[in-house]
Amino acid sequence: MKELTLRPVSAAHECKILCAEGAFEKCLPELIKKYPEVFVFTDENVLRLYGDKIESVCRAPIFSMPAGEEHKNEETLFALLRAMKEAGLHRSSCLIAVGGGVVGDIGGLAASLYMRGIDCICVPTTLLSQTDSSVGGKTAIDFCGVKNLVGAFSLPKAVVADPTFLKTLPPREIRCGLGEIVKHGALCGELFDKLYANRENLTDLNFLSSIIFENIAFKAGITQKDERESGLRRCLNLGHTTGHALELADGKLSHGEYVLLGMLLEGRLAERETEVDPAYLDKLFKLCLAALGSLPDIKTEGAFGLAALDKKNTKGGEIAVVAPAKRGKYAELRLTLAKYEEGVKRALAEVYHA
Ligand SMILES: NC(=O)c1ccc[n+]([C@@H]2O[C@H](COP(=O)([O-])OP(=O)(O)OC[C@H]3O[C@@H](n4cnc5c(N)ncnc54)[C@H](O)[C@@H]3O)[C@@H](O)[C@H]2O)c1
Ligand SMILES: [Zn+2]
């Protein structure tokens, strides 16, 4: 069993993160035995695939939401809170969120609101949630058409990442998780070397299982130092300024695929704006391409103006881009919208017509 304890300076308690094949059966009973009541929150896909397993391990009532980001809203949040009330949960009860990032984000938020906060244990079941969203204590729902508008910083008591859940994950969801994994690689040299060496079999589950804990440890290290995203945590935005812009304009691919494209393009942008290692950027380019499978056809009209609308990207009227630069090193660029737009369009032309 691999494990670490995360305790950001401003957090009220620590969070134990456990990772191993079979960790769900091995650790959950021990983690929940002290609670007088536990309650499971999941989604309909996970319930269909793992309902029996969840029931036999957790021995608790289960509430499931319809699957998908379009249900990450106040309706689902309040339906869950109502179900928790009807199940008679108290201040000393525990909510177990078993599912992808959507379930983790809503479950974490509901646990932080119910009776001003009850314990939550997170069991991430997608590649993205195991390597990224379950680590760091950010919770939210989408509201009034804005992603993650209403939420809270609220660390779960424990996260149990069990790669055996990934066996049923559709290929598209694997690619989605790979976007953030390659991003971690672009920020952490050792992980990059492993990913690059395995670029021919990035989607192999044995390989992925072998690097999940490293991703958790990397993200935990960043969160530990900067829980509230005032400085260092911003590096996790690498590839995202352009990735989000493309996601808004095109919208057909998964978030992770846009992040991969964002990194590709921002690497090219960085080449003209700052000191970079061209040989490293070439390798990162190959890695992103390998993770994407092939360069997808995307609609880019109007995309880059959209980058300016994102609060996270705009600093004093300029676009902030966290771009890959050297092995384990990123560059924070600040460009006028005109310069950013021109740079990404040039990068697009280079990448797509090479
Ligand atoms: N809190 C954070 O720090 C943070 C960070 C990144 C992303 N997020 C959020 O995470 C969400 C995306 O997470 P996601 O990609 O896990 O999406 P998701 O939760 O929608 O899961 C993707 C799909 O996979 C299904 N699924 C889940 N586990 C499965 C399994 N083991 N086998 C087969 N199917 C399974 C789900 O039912 C769903 O259809 C977004 O809402 C995003 O905002 C949060
Ligand atoms: Zn992302």
- pLDDT tens for 25-42 read 999 999 999 999 999 999
Q: How far is the CA of 105 from the centre of ligand 1 (A)?
A: 9
pLDDT band at 227, cuts 50/70/90? low
| Mean pLDDT computed over every residue of the chain | 94
Cross-strand partners of 320: 334
Cross-strand partners of 38: 94
Q: Which has the closest alpha carbon to 104: 78, 82, 126?
A: 126
Q: How far is the CA of 201 from the centre of ligand 1 (A)?
A: 22
pLDDT at 301: 86
**Measured from the CB, is residue 176 less than 6 Å from ligand 1?**
yes
Average pLDDT of the segment spanning 254-271: 95
More confident residue, 10 or 136: 136
Residue nearest to atom 12 of ligand 1 (CA): 101
State which ligand 1 atom lies nearest to the alpha carbon of 72: 41
Q: Which ligand is nearest to the CA of 76?
A: 1
Q: Which ligand is nearest to the CA of 148?
A: 1
For 322-337, b/e burial (b = at least 16 CB within 10 A) is: bbbbbbbebbebbbeb
List of long-range contacts for 226-230, beta carbons under 8 Å, 24+ apart: 226/8, 227/8, 227/9, 227/10, 227/11, 227/136, 227/137, 227/153, 228/10, 228/153
Q: Is the pLDDT of residue 199 over 90?
A: yes
pLDDT at 317: 79
**Ligand 1 binding pocket mutation candidate from 103, 129, 154, 160 (most atoms within 8 A of CB):** 129
Structure token pair of residue 57: 């391990």
Average pLDDT of the segment spanning 172-195: 97
| Other residues' Cβ atoms within 10 Å of the Cβ of residue 62 | 18
**Ligand 1 binding pocket mutation candidate from 44, 69, 133, 168 (most atoms within 8 A of CB):** 133
CA 98, 100, 101, 105 dihedral sign is negative
pLDDT at 79: 98
Residue nearest to atom 44 of ligand 1 (CA): 133
Check: CB of residue 254 under 8 Å from CB of residue 172. Answer: yes
Residue nearest to atom 2 of ligand 1 (CA): 133
Q: How far is the CA of 214 from the centre of ligand 2 (A)?
A: 17
Q: How far is the CA of 90 from the centre of ligand 2 (A)?
A: 34
pLDDT at 229: 61
DSSP state of 144: T
More confident residue, 156 or 12: 156
Q: How far is the CA of 50 from the centre of ligand 2 (A)?
A: 26
**Measured from the CB, is residue 169 less than 6 Å from ligand 1?**
yes
DSSP state of 287: H
| Other residues' Cβ atoms within 10 Å of the Cβ of residue 58 | 21
pLDDT digits (tens, 9 = 90+) for 296-339: 999 988 887 777 667 667 767 789 999 999 999 999 999 999 99
State which ligand 1 atom lies nearest to the alpha carbon of 67: 37
**Measured from the CB, is residue 46 less than 6 Å from ligand 1?**
yes
CA distance 44 to 49: 9
pLDDT band at 228, cuts 50/70/90? low
CA distance 43 to 167: 17
Average pLDDT of the segment spanning 56-81: 98
Q: Is the pLDDT of residue 8 over 90?
A: no
Helices (H) and strands (E) counted in the chain, each on its own, are 13, 12
pLDDT at 311: 64
Structure token pair of residue 177: 């998780």
pTM: 0.95
Q: How far is the CA of 87 from the centre of ligand 2 (A)?
A: 34
Q: Is the pLDDT of residue 230 over 70?
A: no
Q: How far is the CA of 176 from the centre of ligand 1 (A)?
A: 9
**What is the helix (H) or strand (E) element at residue 206, kind and residue range?**
helix 205-225
